[in-house]
A and B are shown apart, each in its own frame.
Chain A
Amino acid sequence: MTDASKCDECGRWGADLQDNLFAKGGAGRRGVMPPVWHGDDVDATLPASLRRAEPCDLPSLSEPEVMRHYTRLSILNHHIERGMYPLGSCTMKYNPRLNERVAALPGFATLHPEQDEADIQGLLCACKLLQDALCEITGFDACSLQPAAGAHGEFLGMLTIRAFHLANGDADRLEVLIPDSAHGTNPASVVMAGMKPVTLESRPDGRLDLDVLRAAAGPTTAGIMITNPNTLGLFETDIVEVARIVHEAGGRLYMDGANLNAILGKAKPAHMGFDVVHLNLHKTFSTPHGGGGPGAGPICVVSELAPYLPGPEIVAADGVYGLVRDETEGRPSIHSFYGNIGVCLRALAYILRLGGDGLTRVAERAVLNANYLRVRLEGILQVEHGDGCLHEFIASGVDWREKYGVRTLDIAKRLLDYGVHAPTIYFPLIVEEALMIEPTETESKETLDAFVEIMRTIRREAEEEPELLHQAPLVTPVSRLDEAGAARKPDLRWLGPCNCG
């Protein structure tokens, strides 16, 4: 087996694995202590029946030790400033630090959600600005910022459609049509909203089959859930006809807005015939992924669905902002308060910075980058349904498997050795050995060219030394992990006692 020195460009990762936090430190060490009480002595003892018998067994580290532990852990991560993440449908674009500074302003960060409207005028204005901007971008009439993530938005969107039908006496409309190319959250969200997902077989390019749709749409149809562009990066060219068919059958159209980056300023969901869309602020609108959140998934709706959104509504009169609270039964609530406001503020800063012109350029450059990468990868990766792809495209590793005996998984793992995060793999389910590649607009031509050369190199390795791919990754802090073992005998927490250092 060839060793990692073959991979001169990536070199050693430069980080060491860390012992568990709970095995570090030593009894008596102190990090941050709460303020001392300087007032009169008062008895604050809890009754014995409620008191904790043993203090909680937590590690004891000084602040420098904590800083070192987490800093060293952080270096084990790939991140956007380290290299590209060409993950299809994730839109891993640059996260502007201006947004962080804005969200951290004490005038935003220290607001308690129970404070009076008079204390939060600037905040209400900001939320209204964002809602109005998202409505302008999507073409809709009303917006809710309450969903804390895309899947949360999907759930809320489904609830509004269900509430709409119930209000119209259509309690039997329980089926939501979903293409087989859809993201897993789609059918899961439908079920959580008390409805039944019905899978529609797509055409091979992932686009909707109008005949299949016509046969499926009917009096029990609550609606349809579509991603547009679809999960193969292709625009549903028949979308206006699709909307007509579904509306005629009495259903409503939901758009999964995960791929909005491709159509900002080029197509508005409302004009395509959709009734509701969710947006992923942590995708299209640059808020950071944070290792898995927090994101935000606001939804925008047509006016007929607006009465079914959570309250309260933000209204402005004579320059004064207020919250109209709707306490009547039936208004849903899916979050303790108003949603991930801190994330929303970041997205607002991004929208203000880019403006209408800038957002339109975003789509143009995202789509240009994807298409450039697609044509340059010709001969290296088998692109599927590449014509007309927008911000992402699908490739298949089937020919690598047949020629070299390596799978898409192996290609993905070898990419990690070259400082690039793997693309999305094995999704969508309708393409065999799929790789879904989305460079986003914040990657330069040089980075894309370098990516092409890396893929070319890996293809050569597959041909001459496939074992390298089977063993990859080789220079990362850990190599392939025993995932089966982790699932069979889950070890989910550290069991050792603390403070024995």
Chain B
Amino acid sequence: MTSDDRIYSKEHEWVMIESNIATVGVTEYAATELGDVVFIELPEPGAQVGQGDAVGTIETVKSVEDLYCPLTGEIVEINEAVLDAPELVNESPLDDGWLFKLQFSDHGELDNLLSAADYDAMIGG
């Protein structure tokens, strides 16, 4: 379920903005579609990343999906908990299953992301 306190990407990520820090995770839709997550690769803190870059992977038993970066900036924090317990992404994708935080400066890039309503429309919900 989407909410208006976040914005979304076409790659099924949610983004929560607090001034110039963006917290990123995958949506409930994505977590359900993926199935049991078994392994996650996250970017290194300090890494410089661009909007649309593939910065990590999410693996299930039968598939590997790239994790994309919704904004240009620098990774400031990653959620170590999901590295040890990838099932958090299935259990709590919007909360404990957050993936990484990045510091960004170009607020113009937010226009490239989707509102909750647009994302819902995209997934046909």
Contacts and interface: CB of A to CB of B under 8 A. Distances in A.
Note whether A and B contact each other (Cβ less than 8 A).
Answer: yes
B41 interface: no
Contacts of A487: 38-39, 59, 61
Nearest to B61: A483
A488 B38 CA distance: 5
A488 B82 CA distance: 11
Interface string B26-39: 00000000011011
B60 A484 contact: yes
Contacts of B38: 484, 487-488
Contacts of B36: 484
Interface in A69-88: none
B13 interface: no
A484 B34 CA distance: 12
Contacts of A488: 38-39, 85-87
A483 B61 CA distance: 7
Interface in B47-72: 59-62
Interface residues of A, number: 5
Contacts, number: 17
A191 to B, nearest CB: 15
Residue of B38, B62, B86 ringed by the most chain A CB atoms within 10 A: B38
A483 B38 CA distance: 9
A368 to B, nearest CB: 34
B106 to A, nearest CB: 32
B35 to A, nearest CB: 8
A27 to B, nearest CB: 38
A488 B86 CA distance: 7
A487 B36 CA distance: 10
Contacts of B61: 483-484, 487
A488 B39 CA distance: 6
A488 B37 CA distance: 8
Nearest to A487: B38
A488 B85 CA distance: 8
Interface in A450-501: 483-484, 487-488
A288 B72 CA distance: 54
Interface in A186-231: none
B91 to A, nearest CB: 12
A411 B59 CA distance: 25
A412 to B, nearest CB: 13
Interface string B85-116: 11100000000000000000000000000000
Contacts of B59: 487
A89 B59 CA distance: 26
Given A483-B61, A488-B39, 12 more contacts: A484-B35, A484-B36, A484-B60, A484-B61, A484-B87, A487-B38, A487-B39, A487-B61, A488-B38, A488-B85, A488-B86, A488-B87
Interface of A: 426, 483-484, 487-488
Interface of B: 35-36, 38-39, 59-62, 85-87
Nearest 5 pairs of A and B residues by beta carbon: A484-B36, A487-B38, A483-B61, A488-B38, A487-B61
